Amino acid sequence: MMLAGAKALVPDVCVADSDPVGEGEDLTALARWAMRWSPYCAPVKGLEGTHALFLDITGCAHLFGGEAAMLADMVIKMRALGLTARAACAATPGAAFALARFAPEARHGLSAPDGAALRALVGALPVEALRLPNGTTTGLRALGLKTIGQVATQSSAALARRFGIDLVRALDRARGLEEEAIDPVAEIIPRRIRLRLAEPLMTRHGLELAGAKAAGEICTLLDSYNEGARRLVLNLYRVDGVVLQLVGGSGRAHRDAVLWTKVLCERIEAEANGAGLDLGFGVDLVEICAPVVEVLEGQVMDLDPVAAAALASADALHRLADRLSARLGAGRVTRMEAVAHWVPEQAVRPVAVADRRPQVSRFPEALAARRPALLLERAEPIDAIAEVPDGPPRLFRWRALAFKVACAEGPERIACGETHDRDYYRIETIEGRRFWLYRQGLPGKVDHPKWYVHGSAA
Amino acid sequence: MRPDLTTLRTQIRAIETEGRPALSCLPTGADKLDAALGGGLALGGVTEVVPAAFMDEPASLHFAFACMAKALQQRSGDLVVIEDTSRGQGWGPAWGQLYGPGLQKLGVCPSRILLVRAPDVKGFHACLEDAARTFGLAGVLAVSGPKAGFSLAGARRVQLAAEQAHSLVLAVQGLRTSAFAPARARLVLASRPCRPVALGTALPGLGPPAWRLHLERARSGARPQSFDLEYDDATHCLYQPATLANRSPQPHRLSA
């Protein structure tokens, strides 16, 4: 029906533009929230206007009291979000999709049997359940094949010749004969613990208690694998279908529940003080996982007092770094890492404590000897008077102040491509202040080379 | 004497600094400066480094890192650098950010630096106190912006924390930062022309970096006095140049 026709029938009809991108994003968010039932969760791809989620519930159903109870739980929770949901569970994703869309029992959750019973159940469904483009289903209907059962009686070679191999494959998938891979929305992290709460958490204090309990449990889990975590992710599943994520990092792998609790509580506090931790109507599921783990064998207490003190001080530093990065945010507590790059501003990279690899990074000595201690983030242009064609500057003006150069060392030529080559000079003014200047553009190639100051305390 | 007065006395005695064991020092390498400071930079105390003029701010940081190079040589653990970035990037727009290769030249191994950028003054104070309280650090370097001065009580807390953990804390102040009251010493730093190296070019080459350090105040009781200091990048040590070598700034040219 045209919109004009619809408006003629119902004058106050509510109209909104279709927004496939926004719908896709919402579906992905819903898929993340649906990870509360199974980590293998993905929105169905390939068909426009089809809003469905696939969950691989292998090994998960018994946690919710069996397949039927789990499906009922899904339908109830989705309905609480204001969504109309139909759920079905079958041997293959194709069969589950067909049943959820077209079987009437799927309104309350339908747990289908396997084998011949499943094929009989699916056989009664219309051909639209095959998850095929419109053209194919209209073609099948034109031939009088209205249900999957009728299509299945035809020879597959004939169907493939007439409609393509996709039809045969879709038929096998819907009848529970062919498996299908699903691509989960989030990374599957094997080290995870989930706490299902009887009452939704509404307060920060409750959240901190839950964080402490979760940290304790994941540390026990890691202990059984002889592993330590470098990072813990706390996922908070809100009642209204939003997942909040808090990430705590550490500069060193460990499984000390008390320390991890502190880090998580600092994160909760930082979030609450910063953007605000909106718990909405409460959090009813807390999940903690350790995405980055390292093997951590038990440590022997060192009996040598000097070595023990060194160990204790290294430990204290790690704790300080973890505490500060939890409080200020990971990007604010960093270490410098050397990068093999000749452009000065790209030779150093800040690395967050939690991402650091335990190797010592040093710069080449010969290069370090000519570098300043402070580097401007962006080189600032200056007016300079220099010897022509390629001498060091004698006078320059920076930030409205005039400087007279007493000593200079250089040039050190750094190639940055054609007209951007730089000639660096370390200079000292007559007052003894040291700067790192460069001339951009080589004398023969550029008519009026520009001068910049790039660092101080050279 | 009433018993509650006795308990009050013991409480006060716990807070007082009288009769505590003497704090050890980290010698800087410049003998006269060490003598004036009572042995060197105080371990278990805050030493304040202040620029003499606005343009000397980079030089005061340069000097502070020269001192920290000594601390990293002699003490185990890492160096924690805390920057106050409440004014945008702190010193960022003014003088630039700490640059690894340049620090390595000074003798500060970049992988032993933990860099903390505090977003506001409150966070800066909390981080400094936390770091000063941590055992086993080689040193703590606080780079304050103009607004990051400590209140009397806040400064005292940092000082007590440093005393507890015997940590070496250098507070590099901006020109207009208010003074750190309980500091063990206040050093005012000015740039000084270096002794140039004759290279045979039109302009002479750079000698070792040179500073004039004015000891404005010290808990050791030394009277205010000035020192000429230089830093050797090769041996990573701070020294007072021999007076004989401190001649005319003109380089000597070799006759052909």
Q: Give the amino acid at A401.
A: L
Q: Which CATH architecture has domain A192-325?
A: 2-Layer Sandwich (3.30)
The minimal CB distance from B96 to the residues A321, A401, A455 is found for A455
The residue in chain A having the minimum alpha-carbon distance to the alpha carbon of residue B134 is: A316
The residue in chain A having the minimum alpha-carbon distance to the alpha carbon of residue B54 is: A433
Please give the ipTM for the structure prediction: 0.84
Average pLDDT value for chain A: 87
Q: Is the pLDDT score of B90 beyond 60?
A: no
Number of domains making up chain B:
1
CATH number of the domain to which B195 belongs: 3.40.50.300
Q: How confident is the model at residue A216 (pLDDT cuts 50, 70, 90)?
A: very high
Question: According to the model, what pLDDT value does residue B92 have?
Answer: 46
Domain encompassing residue B96: 24-239
Question: According to the model, what pLDDT value does residue B256 have?
Answer: 40
The minimal CB distance from B118 to the residues A328, A337, A338 is found for A328
Q: Rounded distance, CA A55 to CA A380, Å?
A: 56
Between CA B134 and CA B142, with CA B138 as vertex, the angle to 5 degrees is 75
The residue in chain B having the minimum alpha-carbon distance to the alpha carbon of residue A338 is: B100
Partners of residue A363 in chain B, C-beta under 8 Å: 100-101, 104, 110
Determine, yes or no, domain membership for B252.
Answer: no
Partners of residue A337 in chain B, C-beta under 8 Å: 111
Tell me the per-residue pLDDT of A370-409, one tens digit each, with 9 for 90 and over: 899 999 888 999 999 988 778 889 999 998 899 999 999 8
Do the beta carbons of residue A88 and residue A110 sit within 8 Å? Answer: yes
Do the beta carbons of residue A431 and residue B193 sit within 8 Å? Answer: yes
* Partners of A429 in beta bridges: A405
Of all residues in chain A, what percent carry a pLDDT higher than 70?
Answer: 98
Quote the minimal CA–CA distance from A229 to chain B in Å.
21
Give the residue-averaged pLDDT of A136-153.
89
Q: How confident is the model at residue B145 (pLDDT cuts 50, 70, 90)?
A: confident
Coil, helix or strand at residue A196: strand
Tokens of A142: 């034109």
> The pTM is what?
0.73
Q: How confident is the model at residue A280 (pLDDT cuts 50, 70, 90)?
A: confident
Residue with tokens 């009572």: B38
The residue in chain B having the minimum alpha-carbon distance to the alpha carbon of residue A328 is: B118
Residue with tokens 């440093």: B162
CB contact under 8 A, A328 and B203: no
Give the residue-averaged pLDDT of A122-151.
88
Listed residue (A417, A419, A334, A423) closest to A370, CA to CA: A423
Higher pLDDT, A18 or A418: A18
Q: Which of A300-304, A346-350, B111-115 has the lowest mean pLDDT?
A: A300-304
CB contact under 8 A, B110 and A338: yes
Q: Which of residues 217 through 256 in chain B touch A, CB cutoff 8 A?
A: 233, 249
Question: According to the model, what pLDDT value does residue B255 have?
Answer: 45
Question: According to the model, what pLDDT value does residue B62 have?
Answer: 93
Alpha helices by DSSP H, listed for A81-238, are: 93-102, 115-123, 134-142, 148-153, 156-163, 165-174, 204-224
Tell me the per-residue pLDDT of B213-255, one tens digit each, with 9 for 90 and over: 999 988 888 899 999 999 998 888 899 887 655 555 555 555 4
Q: How confident is the model at residue B155 (pLDDT cuts 50, 70, 90)?
A: very high
Partners of residue B60 in chain A, C-beta under 8 Å: none
The residue in chain B having the minimum alpha-carbon distance to the alpha carbon of residue A357 is: B111
Tokens of A90: 């079958």
Partners of residue B113 in chain A, C-beta under 8 Å: 335-336
The reply to whether B207 touches chain A by the CB within 8 Å rule is: yes
Tell me the per-residue pLDDT of A288-307, one tens digit each, with 9 for 90 and over: 999 888 887 766 666 777 77
Q: Is the pLDDT score of A411 beyond 60?
A: yes
Q: Rounded distance, CA B85 to CA B180, Å?
A: 19
The reply to whether B83 touches chain A by the CB within 8 Å rule is: no
CB contact under 8 A, B233 and A324: no
Quote the minimal CA–CA distance from A101 to chain B in Å.
53
Q: Rounded distance, CA A216 to CA A199, Å?
A: 21
Give the residue-averaged pLDDT of A327-343.
87
Length of chain B: 256
Coil, helix or strand at residue A448: coil
Sequence-separated (6 or more) residues with CB below 8 Å from residue B133:
B161, B162, B164, B165, B167
* Residue-range domain boundaries for chain A: 29-174, 192-325, 370-456
Question: According to the model, what pLDDT value does residue B241 have?
Answer: 86
Average pLDDT value for chain B: 85
The reply to whether B54 touches chain A by the CB within 8 Å rule is: no
